[in-house]
Amino acid sequence: MNRRPAVFFDRDGVINYDHGSLYRPEDFVWMDGAVEAIRYFNQAGTLVFVITNQSGIARGYYQEADLWKLHAWINEELANHDAHIDAFYYCPHYPETENPLYNRVCDCRKPQPGMIKQALRQWPILMEESFMVGDKPSDVECAQNAGIPGYLFPGGNLFDFLKQVGCVKQ
C-alpha cells in the first residue's frame, strides 16, 4: 500500500467557526477557504483528517450519535464541492466530568497525540510529509507530540493561510 501525506485539521475554529459545543448541522458555518483547502488536498492526493476534542459529549451537551450525524453531514456538504474528509477522529473524554463513561485522562485528548496515532494505525500515512493545522496551542503541541509540524491558524481564510505558510503549492 502506497503511503500518502496527510493533513490533520482541528475542527472548531479551523474548518468551521467555533460557536461552542457544536453538534447540529444548522449551527455549522464553514470557515472561509475551508472547502477550497480540503478540495485542494483531496486533488493533491493528500489524506484529510479531522481531529477534535469533543468534551461536550462528556459534559452531557450532546451524544456521540449527534456528532456522527454532524460529521456525515459535513462530508455530504463537501461532496457537493468534489471534496471529502477521509476520517474524523474525536476525543469524548473530559477528566472533570461526573459521567463515569468519559471521566478519564486519555492519550487522545489533545495535546496528546492519540488521534493522530490512531489514524497512523488505520491509514497508509507518510508522516514525513504530513502536518496539522489548529487554532489553539494545544493543537500545535499535539502535532509536535506526534512528530509532525503544527501550524497555528489565527482565523481568516484557511486556504490563504495555508498558502502563506507554504502548505499549498502556488
**Which amino acid appears at position 69 of this protein?**
K
Active site residue 66: no
Catalytic site residue from 10, 86, 135, 139: 10
Could you give the strand order of the β-sheet that contains 87-91, starting from the edge strand earlier in sequence? 87-91, 47-53, 6-9, 131-134, 150-152
> Residue 68: which of 89, 95, 43 has the closest Cα?
89
Cα–Cα dist 104/97, whole Å: 9
Catalytic site residue from 12, 86, 135, 139: 12
Active site residue 10: yes
Instruction: Give the active site residues.
Output: 10, 12
